[in-house]
Amino acid sequence: MSELWNVRAEIMCNPKTLPQADTWDYEHVTWASSAETAQEKIEHYFKSFDWHIVGGEAKVLDVGHIYEDEEFHGMIERANAKS
- Please give the distance of CA 13 from its chain centroid, rounded to a whole number: 15
Q: What is the pTM of this model?
A: 0.78
Which helix (H) or strand (E) segment holds residue 82: the answer is helix 70-82
Amino acid letter, 67: Y
E strands, 40-82, in order? 52-60
Q: Tell me how far apart the alpha carbons of residues 31 and 52 are, in angstroms, rounded to a whole number.
A: 21
pLDDT tens-place values along the chain, 83 residues long: 799 999 999 999 888 877 777 888 888 899 999 999 999 998 998 888 888 899 999 999 987 888 888 898 889 889 888 87
Q: Residues 4, 78, 44, 56: is their CA dihedral positive or negative?
A: negative
